[in-house]
Amino acid sequence: MKLKKKIPVIDQGNSLGFWGGKFGGNFVPETLKKPIEDLEVLFNKLKKDKKFISERDKYFQNWVGAPTRFIKLESLTNYIGGAQIWSKVVSDANGGAHKIYNATVHCLLAKRSGKKIICGDTGAGYAGKMLSMAAKKFGLKCKIFMGAKDIARQQPNVKAMKKNGAEVIPVYSGSQTLVDAVSECMRFWVANCDTTAMCVGSTVGPAVFVRICGWSTSQISRELKGQLIDEFGSIPKKLKLYNCVGGGSSSFGFWNEFMDYDKKQVEFIGVEAGGPAKSKKHAAPLTYGSKIGILHGAAQYVNQNSDGQIEETESISAGLDYPGISPLHCFLKDTKRARYTAASDEEALSAYKLVTKFEDLRPSLEPSHAFFVALKEAKKLSNDTVVVINSCGDAYKDRGILEERLGKKYVKSN
Amino acid sequence: MLNPISVAFKKARTENRPALLTYTVAGDSSKKQSLDILKSISKSADILEVGVPHNTPVADGSQIQTSAYRAIKKGIKIIDIFKIVRDFKKFDKSKPIILMGYYNMIFQYGENNFLNKCKTSGVNGLIVVDLPWPENKDFAKKCKKKSIYFIQLLSPTTTSKRLRKIIQNSHPMNYFISMLSTTGGKLKVSPREILKNYNRIKKINPKKEVVIGFGITDKTIGKLKSADGLVVGSAICKEITRSLNSRQNPVINVGKLVRKLKNKIK
């Protein structure tokens, strides 16, 4: 299995949508074949269309707010005493997380295809919140599917979705988290694909959704590349990009523009959710060697039992609480372009404490996983190494959990 | 030897009626009960679809989901499902059985192992909901070698060009999804409209059997009589749930329901 240079990774799949011949594809009910094909045709045309790209850029700039900040974490760097520690503050984006890029592009595509309704799934609630914002902006009706367990633990985002006029549909099946929300959303699309567009909230699902999402979030690395050159004059000789990985949309977007660099120069480190330290359950299929299986239309490494039933996951962060992983990351793992590891719930919380103690930055529980590994490794690295962590979400949504686990003093009101 | 599925269609045709296909989930609400249900309906039904429960079923509505979760909760494994089929075949050797499920279960078992097991336990056909054409080409070929029908699904969204290609490559039986819906949705198009689409499919190759499924209940089944076969699934799963909730015997109630369905299409 080989990663090709000079071809975008999203376009390296074969004619059936498989990366490396085995990840991804379209394992979908017959009813969805046509709508998926239509979306593929539309996306393949528009991603080469200069007018469409400038429309996208206009919304990214004026509405999403590009570029998001690239900042040095001076106090943390001094405290850790190793590599330089920087952060790409993607949570600056309108709505407070990277999910806005994919949501915006899906709404633009929905408008072009003449659909009046858009449906989407959400775990932490960010994908849903952003889709509700974008749907409102572009005049589309919006339906969000969300696990009942996630609705209970991510209330601030639920309120935001409702305020934006979206209908939030609780999903009570299975583990009542993201995996079930995606299933229910796909079911809704099966029954309504003639009138409704679907937005899959991450780089997962049938191949075209993986591609659209990766294409959208790549805005992050496009910005970062320019910011690094502005700051250092060129891409640093030793650059390490840390990102949390749930479905894998923010990490893919954070890395994409650096794909062709030698990994000795630009290393990618993906941090999965290891779950509670004392629990055997986790959401880290790459780290813990899960087998390939089919989930939500795509072949990927996925937590499952020997019969092929998908296993329940456990993580403090709803956004990473997913048993599978993007086919793109399976591909990056097997081609050895990226390295994957995991952080536990407790480790993520400890990193959150440390970051908020030294910096005026409040990463949500998802990027706190990446911060933990980055800070641990930065200690052992030389000071000419540039460590960048994607702070892809803001902790506002995690108030309830943070107050419960760490006490009131770690929760600031917005 | 002719596949018992084709024999069943022939028999129904001589009786001037469509074949009745039922769908029940293996292991719902227990291994034994699901076997007893199959036995109790085998007289009225022509072909038995046995659902392989999966916990992320992207095409199933709430009734079949409920049945599937109930079976999984009771600990049903693929190996048990093959045993149920084998035990049923001891009871009624000639009654065709089709397993219906999602591809990951087959993928994890190994395609060849799975098909060997199907063969030895007496499975006559397979429906794999999330393995569409052309992704299913290789697997369908393997099925053919074992004389197991791989049943292609066709939908109202399937384009004419695609329909022709699928049917050209298909085995003797195909399955038309009546409407845009998950299983068990309320019939939102008229039976006339469904039959219009059905006839469009039949015209391509009249020799291939086409059954209609999704949204068929005892209320609607009579209006679709002109099809080669009709599948009732969610309505049966719903009856199992209703029986369990009211502390009645699902085996007896489902038996009654299937007899009623049969009478409607005679």
Query: Cβ of A181 under 8 Å from any chain B Cβ?
Result: no
Please judge whether B157 and A31 are an interchain contact, meaning their C-beta atoms are less than 8 angstroms apart. Answer: yes
* Percent above pLDDT 70 for chain A: 99
Interchain contact A291–B (C-beta under 8 A): yes
CB B50 within 8 A of CB B81: yes
CA distance A12 to chain B (A): 18
Q: Is B176 helix (H, G, I), strand (E, B) or coil?
A: strand
Q: Which residue of B has its CA nearest to A307?
A: B105
Cβ of B25 under 8 Å from any chain A Cβ?
no
Instruction: Tell me if A29 and B54 make a contact (CB, 8 A cut-off).
Output: no
Distance (Å) from the alpha carbon of A77 to chain B's nearest alpha carbon: 44
The arithmetic mean of pLDDT across residues A147-171, rounded, is 95
Number of residues that this document lists for chain A: 414
Q: What is the pLDDT of residues A357-414, one digit of tens each?
A: 999 999 999 999 999 999 999 999 999 999 999 999 999 889 999 999 999 887 765 4
Task: Classify domain A61-96+215-410 by CATH number.
Answer: 3.40.50.1100
Confidence of residue B259 (pLDDT cuts 50, 70, 90): very high
Q: Across residues A277-287, what is the average pLDDT?
A: 96
Q: Please tell me the predicted confidence (pLDDT) of residue A410.
A: 79
Of B65, B134, B177, nearest to A173 by CB-CB distance is B65
Best probe of the A interface among B25, B54, B56, B73, by most A CBs < 10 A, is B56
The token pair that represents A220 in the structure block: 């992050």
Which 3 state secondary structure label does DSSP give B92? coil
Distance from CA of A307 to the nearest CA of B (A): 6
- pLDDT value for A414: 43
Q: CA-CA distance, A222 to A215, in Å (whole number)?
A: 11
Assign 3-class secondary structure to B24-47: EECCCCCHHHHHHHHHHHCCCCCE
Cis peptide before B134 (omega within 30 of 0): yes
Which of A14, A175, A309 should we substitute to test contact with B (largest number of B Cβ atoms within 10 Å)?
A309
**pLDDT over 90 (residue A221):** yes
Pairing of the two strands A266-275 and A239-244: parallel
Q: A62 — contact with chain B (CB < 8 Å)?
A: no
Q: Binning pLDDT at 50, 70 and 90, where does residue B2 land?
A: very high
Angle between helices A345-358 and A365-378 (to 10 degrees): 80
Helical (H) or strand (E) element with B113: helix B111-121
Nearest CB among A191, A295, A308 relative to B180 is that of: A191
How many other CB atoms sit within 10 Å of the CB of residue A41?
12
Query: Which of A294, A296, A313 is most worth mutating to test chain B (most B CB atoms within 10 A of its CB)?
Result: A294
For residue A300, give the chain B residue with the closest CA: B104
Average pLDDT across chain A, whole number:
96
Q: Does B158 touch chain A (CB under 8 A)?
A: yes
Other beta carbons within 10 Å of A372:
28
Tell me if A31 and B185 make a contact (CB, 8 A cut-off): no
Q: Is the CATH number of domain B4-265 3.40.50.2000?
A: no
| Average model confidence (pLDDT) across chain B | 97
Q: Where are the domains of chain B?
A: 4-265
CB of A208 closer than 8 Å to CB of A36: yes
Query: Could you say which residues from 51 to 80 on chain B have a Cβ atom under 8 Å away from some Cβ of chain A?
Result: 54-61, 65, 69, 72, 77-78
Q: Which of B60, B209, B228, B239 is catalytic?
A: B60
Q: Which residues of A244-265 are buried (b: 16+ CB within 10 A; e: fewer)?
A: bbbbbbbbbbbbbbbbeeeeee
CB atoms within 10 A of CB A287: 22
**Alpha-carbon torsion, ordered A240, A241, A245, A249, to 10 deg:** -150
Tell me how far apart the alpha carbons of residues A130 and A138 are, in angstroms, rounded to a whole number: 12
Which residue ranges make up each domain of chain A? 61-96+215-410
What whole-number percentage of chain A has pLDDT above 90?
A: 94
For chain A, say whether B164 makes contact (Cβ under 8 Å).
no
A39 touches B: beta carbon within 8 Å: no
Give Cα A311 distance to the centre of its chain: 21
Q: Decide if B108 touches A, using CB distance below 8 A.
A: yes
SS3 sequence, chain A?
CCCCCCCCHHHCCCCCCEECCCEECCCCCHHHHHHHHHHHHHHHHHCCCHHHHHHHHHHHHHHHHCCCEEEECHHHHHHHCCCEEEEEEHHHCCCCECHHHHHHHHHHHHHHHCCCEEEEEECCCHHHHHHHHHHHHCCCEEEEEEEHHHHHHCHHHHHHHHHCCCEEEEECCCCCCHHHHHHHHHHHHHHHCCCEEEECCCCCCCHHHHHHHHHHHCHHHHHHHHHHHHHHCCCCCCEEEEEECCCCHHHHHHHHHHCCCCCCCEEEEEEEEEECCCCCCCECCCCCCCCEEEECCEEEECCECCCCCECCCCCCCHHHCCCCCCHHHHHHHHCCCEEEEEEEHHHHHHHHHHHHHHCCCCECHHHHHHHHHHHHHHCCCCCCCEEEEECCEEHHHHHHHHHHHHCHHHCCCC
B15 belongs to the catalytic site: no
Confidence of residue A61 (pLDDT cuts 50, 70, 90): very high
- Which run of H or E residues covers position B49? strand B47-51
Out of B46, B49, B209, B228, the active site residue is: B49
Tens of pLDDT along A229-271?
A: 999 999 999 999 999 999 999 999 999 999 999 999 999 999 9
Which residue in B58, B79, B109, B186 has the most chain A C-beta atoms within 10 A of its own C-beta, making it the best mutation to test that interface?
B58
pLDDT, tens digit (0-9, with 9 covering 90-100), for A334-358: 999 999 999 999 999 999 999 999 9
Contact B158 A34 (CB under 8 A): yes
Q: What are phi and psi of A413, to 5 degrees?
A: -85, 150
User: Which of A296, A293, A300 lies closest to A245 in space, CA to CA?
Assistant: A300
Number of neighbouring beta carbons within 10 Å of residue A48: 9
A127 — pLDDT class (breaks 50, 70, 90): very high
CB atoms within 10 A of CB A330: 27
Residues linked to residue A395 through DSSP beta bridges, in sequence order: none
How far apart CA B81 and CA B78 sit, in angstroms, is 5
ipTM over 0.90? The verdict is yes
pLDDT for residue A272 is more than 60: yes
- Over 80: is that where the pLDDT of B140 sits? yes
Per-residue pLDDT at A412: 63
Q: How far apart are the first and last CA of chain A?
A: 47
DSSP B214: S
The per-residue pLDDT for range A87-124, each reduced to its tens digit, is 999 999 999 999 999 999 999 999 999 999 999 999 88
Contact A29 B156 (CB under 8 A): no
**Percent of chain B residues past pLDDT 90, beyond the cut:** 98
Q: Do the Cβ atoms of B104 and A187 come within 8 Å?
A: no
Partners of B133 on chain A (C-beta within 8 Å) are: 30
Q: What is the pLDDT of residues B78-91, one digit of tens each?
A: 999 999 999 999 99
Q: What pLDDT, on the 0 to 100 scale, is given for residue B81?
A: 98
Q: Evaluate whether B63 touches B184 at the Cβ level (below 8 Å).
A: yes
User: In which band, very low, low, confident or very high, does the pLDDT at A298 lie, cut at 50, 70 and 90?
Assistant: very high
- State residue B189's pLDDT score: 93
Q: Is the pLDDT of residue B186 over 90?
A: no
Number of Cβ pairs < 8 A linking chain A and chain B: 115
Chain A residues touching residue B77 (CB < 8 angstroms): 307
Please state the rounded mean pLDDT for residues B103-114: 98
